[in-house]
């Protein structure tokens, strides 16, 4: 047996000892409830703070940008702000299906929310959803500040440190499908 074969065998044994408990726990654990998955998602979202908002441009290409969202509300709707003249606003007007992606490196955890975005220019909502650290970005809050609310259709969550893992064969992550029940105000 040459040195390369020995190294490969040692690596394979180490991998089996490390990965086997994870795979076994996936196979023997009962699935988490929607409420448990949503609670896990909220924790990751709070830890990550920022997320990527992914829209589609006129050619169908994904366009991702980092945004500073508010914590999700009781229906897991996520509110964020932008300037009404941005590309993301044009893209949402054309195609409101968007994705939010949160990642927490420390826990090896992520949340993906597939949803429908809606642009909100209601002064009461804008006053309610404001962060003082945004003053420089939106000097004229009436003209320069627009809200986007993302209503979830589907949520996926993985948190390696808490044992919330995808299917051992397909890697499909645990998910929650939301009923279409929330009508967003103006």
* pLDDT range class, residue 180, cuts 50, 70, 90: confident
Q: Higher pLDDT residue, 76 or 25?
A: 76
**Whether residue 79 has pLDDT greater than 70:** yes
Secondary structure string (H, E, C) spanning the chain: CCHHHHHHHHHHHHHHHHHHHHHHHHHHCCCCCHHHHHHHHHHHHHHHCCEEEEEECCCCCEEEEEECCCCCCCCCCEEEEECCCCHHHHHHHHCCEEEEEEEECCCCEEEEEEEEEEEECCHHHHHHCCCHHHCCCCCCHHHHCEEEEEEEEEEEEEEHHHCECCCCCCCCCCEEECCCCCCCCC
The burial class, CB within 10 Å (0-12 / 13-18 / 19+), for 66 is exposed
Residue closest to 45 by CA, chosen among 99, 96, 113: 113
* pLDDT range class, residue 181, cuts 50, 70, 90: low
Provide the mean pLDDT of the chain: 86
pLDDT at 35: 96
**Whether residue 154 has pLDDT greater than 90:** yes
**How far is it, in rounded angstroms, from Cα 102 to Cα 77?**
14
Mean pLDDT of 34-52: 96
Low-confidence winner among 11-15, 85-89, 164-168, 170-174 (lowest mean pLDDT): 11-15
The string of pLDDT tens digits covering residues 80-134 is 999 999 999 999 999 999 999 999 999 999 999 999 999 999 999 999 999 999 9
Architecture category of domain 32-177 in CATH? Roll (2.30)
pLDDT at 24: 37
Extents of the domains making up the chain: 1-30, 32-177
pLDDT at 14: 35
pTM of the model: 0.81
**How far is it, in rounded angstroms, from Cα 152 to Cα 78?**
8
First to last CA, the chain: 71
Mean pLDDT of 29-38: 91
**Whether residue 25 has pLDDT greater than 50:** no
Q: Higher pLDDT residue, 144 or 8?
A: 144
């Amino acid at each position: 047996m040459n040195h390369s074969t020995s190294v490969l065998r040692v690596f394979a044994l180490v991998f089996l000892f490390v990965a086997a408990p994870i795979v076994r726990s996936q196979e023997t654990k009962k699935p988490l409830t929607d409420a448990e998955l949503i609670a896990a998602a909220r924790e990751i979202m709070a830890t990550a703070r920022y997320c990527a908002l992914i829209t589609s441009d006129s050619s169908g290409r994904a366009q991702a940008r980092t945004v500073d969202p508010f914590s999700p509300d009781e229906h897991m709707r996520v509110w964020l702000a932008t300037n009404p003249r941005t590309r993301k606003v044009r893209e949402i007007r054309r195609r409101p299906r968007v994705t939010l992606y949160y990642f927490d490196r420390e826990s090896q955890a992520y949340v993906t929310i597939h949803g429908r975005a809606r642009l909100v220019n209601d002064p009461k909502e804008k006053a309610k959803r404001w962060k003082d650290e945004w003053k420089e970005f939106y000097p004229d809050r009436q003209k320069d500040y627009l809200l986007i609310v993302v209503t979830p259709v589907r949520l996926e969550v993985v948190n390696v440190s808490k044992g919330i893992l995808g299917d051992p064969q397909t890697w499909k992550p645990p998910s929650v499908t939301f009923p279409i029940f929330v009508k967003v105000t103006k």
